[in-house]
Amino acid sequence: MADEPPQNDLTGQSLGPYQILKKLGQGGMGTVYHALDTRLDRIAAVKVLPAEKLADPDWKKRFIQEARTASSLNHPNIITIYEIASAESGGHAVIYIAMEFVSGSTLQECIPSGGLRLADTLKYAIQIADALAAAHAAGIVHRDLKPGNVMVTGPASGRPGLIKVLDFGLAKFDAQLEKEPTQTSTIDVSPRTVEGTILGTPAYLSPELAEGKKGDARSDIFSFGSLLYEMVTGQRAFQGPSSLATAAAVLNKEPVPASRIASGVPPELERILQRCHRKDRERRIQHMDDVKVALEDLRDETSSTQSGVGLPAAGAERTPRSRRLGWRIALELAVLGVLTLGAWWRFGPSAPPAWEPVLSRLTTDAGLSAYPTLSRDRKMLAYASDRGGQGNLDIWVRQVGGGEPIQLTNQELDDYEPDFSPDGTRIAFRSERDGGGVYVVPTLGGEARLIANHGRRPLFSPDGKKILYWVGGDYGKVYMVDSTGGPPQQILGDFYSARYPVWSPDGQRVLFHGSRDSSLSAAGTDWWIAPAGGGAAVKTGVLELLARRGLSPPVTTQRVFVPGRWTAGNQVLFSGRLGSTTNVWSLRISPSSGRIESPLRRLTLGTDLEEYASLAPTGATEAEAGARFVFASLSFNVDIWSLPIDARQAKVLGEMQRLTQDPSPDTRASISTDGKRLAFLSTRSGNRDVWIKDLVSGRETALTNTPASESVVQILGDGSGVMYSVTEERSGESTYLIPLGTGPGAVLRPGVAEKLCDKCGACVGASSFASRERTLVCGVSPPGLVSVLQLPSGVRREVLTHPQNGVFGAQPSPDERWIVFNLVTSPIRSQVYLAPFTGQTVKVPDWIPLTDGESWDDKPRWSPDGNVIYFISDRDGFRCLWYQRLDPATKRPAGSPAPLHHLHRARLTMTNVDNGQQAISVARDRIVFSLGELTGNVWMAEGGRP
């Protein structure tokens, strides 16, 4: 046996300066020994490459890579590598790694059958997340994260509970991964580190690694989710009777929610697990730093509660009573849509909920009843509703305890956003009459009086002497005015944008959404607090907190988190979107310091849009304020509408008509010149696809049904085909054409989709596309430029670009001599231009401005005769339809832009449609566009203080 490499235990032998003391066991790709470093007189762990693998160059390479990878990391939660070396043993070469010796147990040994306590789970998970974040920042992916590769130091170490992540043996630098081909050969999947191409342990693999694909940092995030799940529940997230069955579960199954296994799992922890475990890594949490921050937030929140609550102690008994309690609560939530409140970490096996509200539906109208507000004594409710039957919102009041509502206003245009005066005798509100403004009406009825032009969301000061409001659309300015009228006073003038102001409880300060930065960057935009009488503003950091927690603004507020009233006790309510639901949330903010004083808490758990929440306003005690609040439970739907017009004269000929009606959003409308065929995008089949509607027969047909999400859609002017763009992988958009024909009985006969250009951007066709040369006008974003692509030659020429700003939405004229487009100069400003369309680059000085650039002017479209440009503008504070006449000969503007049709109603508006999905299209006799419709009613929650 002298010719064979040593196979026996190396205990008692020396490897270089290391005296082997005893064998500790197998670890990753080698045998691990307890050793003494005789040079430095320190204890070390020595990992030796298995003798039978020494001749295998791939295994040797991976073993060495483990050492080099891990040794490049310097982090307190990552094992320290001392050196990698070779030595003689038994006449044969041995490769080993000497590393830090950790006294303790593996995490696998520390997790009891019932899972860890919440405090221990967070303590360990944060350290693991921190270690992985550091590795990812260095371009290193672990790819074999599991409880056996995590050590928890014991008392003998002097730092009990310290985490050490081991075995970066499967990690490779991302640059190397890019160079190495992904192998998908046969696998020997076993409960240890896999000895085949698919690297990792089956139960902790990410789906992409289980399929043999290339891994990245997001693969570690999935594995971390499985590790965290096991810490919480004591069970593996993915299990099967065999290794292959386990790998199949990773690919095809979702873990049982942790809260069904372990009682008292905080909803935020459940959400972290769900976001880590998304099969599609593009929808997974993208950065380990974000996971760490979310866990730290949860730890900070739970640490402020009484000790000893959270997940049950190891081995704690889950009694039938606690299980029945959990099912009862879950059933009540599902059947009644019950609100629950923040302090979720308090829910131990026997701890009662801290917030058990009684829900009351206060309105039962078929249309829209929203914008509720309570009087200071919490006995009266004011709200806006279209229950009057005229199609507009009016202000209504009623006793909270019951009775018929009283109609206070009766105008043709919307009245909404009411607010009670502190003494309850007056109501201020926003009205769209006479160009819009703030009005005040007696609570018991009477004439409404104009207080301030153009104002939005008026709020009485706590003493009733002032009214706070703002003006504008996508950006705004804040004003105060005497509640009896008079000249308004602008405040917060040093802010580029300031919106949605609310009074502090004492009336001395103002909380608002604002930005000093004209670019409205995320770094400069926040909730701010400023003295009402002038002075330095304080940034609260609320928006950063909400972003870390994964919240998005509601779709109905133009992507803005709107602060609600600031009550006694400093509580602020607002609405936020998490996943597919929009609920009411709360936090407390110190008026003096701007510091966030409480954890972020979700107050409602319904599946509709829960918005416009209002606590009892300032002046009530904290307990009274929290005992009752009102909100609107809304449904939101986006459909395509038509407005009959004479497109040559820019003249409206009738009332709007709904063209599509489906629970899924219908957007990006495009109509043929004769007005007979409509193409659009819809998610009604579960994914965003292209649809066509014959406006004569009413028949709707899906033209695409693919996993991809189609974007820009255009029906050719003569209705003979539909072009659309789709993002393929990460390299850009490609454009397709589906020919349209008709069969017997005028039944639509779509043809086979033809790829016109590959990764060319979002393209539209010139009007001659169907009959002569195939010319595509393509927008590339980023960087925001327009080019012309000739088919079939593929020759591309850049025609429109700007040195500072992006050019978008280019549309050639019907005679193909001109091109209209918009230049985005800021997140809230976009200017419409016209330029000659020669197929060559048009320099900026030759562009013809059609709008002044002081508002958001977007989606310009030609009339069929080429003498009118129609577009969307928010220049009056709403997204409405506008037009600009052109001189037929020179195409210079003939006069100023003018409104075609105002869309100022809260129930049915363009404002609620995401601007990226909005489009307009013009036929000879109509213009089509998407509108968002809100319906819903007012609810009230009563109970203990949130």
Residue type, 780: V
Q: Distances in Å between the alpha carbon of 175 and those of 171, 281, 289, 675?
A: 12, 19, 21, 54
Which residue, 754, 745, 688, 687, is CA-closest to 716?
754
Which residue, 189, 197, 198, is CA-closest to 244?
189
Q: Are 458 and 450 in contact (CB under 8 A)?
A: no
The residue whose two tokens read 């990764």 is 759
Please classify residue 674 by burial: count the beta carbons closer than 10 Å to its beta carbon, then call 0-12 exposed, 13-18 middle and 19+ buried: middle
Residue 219 φ then ψ, to 5°: -65, -40
Residue from 144, 365, 414, 858 carrying the catalytic annotation: 144
Please classify residue 837 by burial: count the beta carbons closer than 10 Å to its beta carbon, then call 0-12 exposed, 13-18 middle and 19+ buried: buried
List, as one string, the DSSP characters of 200-235: S-GGG--HHHHTTPPP-HHHHHHHHHHHHHHHHHSS
Q: Is 717 left (phi over 0), alpha (psi -120 to 50) or beta?
A: alpha
Distance (Å, whole) CA 496 – CA 475: 8
Distance (Å, whole) CA 207 – CA 747: 44
Cβ burial 520-529 (10 Å sphere, 16+ → b, else e): beeebbbbbb
Q: Is 732 left (phi over 0), alpha (psi -120 to 50) or beta?
A: left
- Strands, E assignment, 813-889: 818-826, 829-836, 848-849, 857-862, 868-873, 880-885
8-state DSSP, 589? B
CA angle 226, 227, 232 (to 5 degrees): 95
Q: Distances in Å between the alpha carbon of 426 and those of 420, 441, 442, 558?
A: 6, 6, 4, 30
Which residue, 750, 794, 801, 795, is CA-closest to 780?
801
**Helix, coil or strand: residue 317:** coil
Residue 473 pairs in a beta bridge with none
8-state DSSP, 768? T
Residues 6+ positions from 18 with CB-CB distance below 8 Å: 35, 36, 37, 38, 44, 46, 96, 98
Paired tokens of 887: 């001189």
Paired tokens of 448: 């409404």
What sign does the CA torsion over 899, 901, 906, 911 have? negative
Q: Distances in Å between the alpha carbon of 155 and those of 102, 109, 159, 160, 475?
A: 11, 15, 7, 5, 58
8-state DSSP, 579? T
Distance (Å, whole) CA 227 – CA 206: 12
**Helix, coil or strand: residue 169:** helix
Distance (Å, whole) CA 904 – CA 410: 16
Active-site residue, 144 included? yes
Distance (Å, whole) CA 284 – CA 297: 19
Where do runs of H (alpha helix) occur along 618-712?
Answer: 622-627
Q: Distances in Å between the alpha carbon of 639 and those of 636, 642, 931?
A: 10, 10, 6
Active centre residues (catalytic): 144
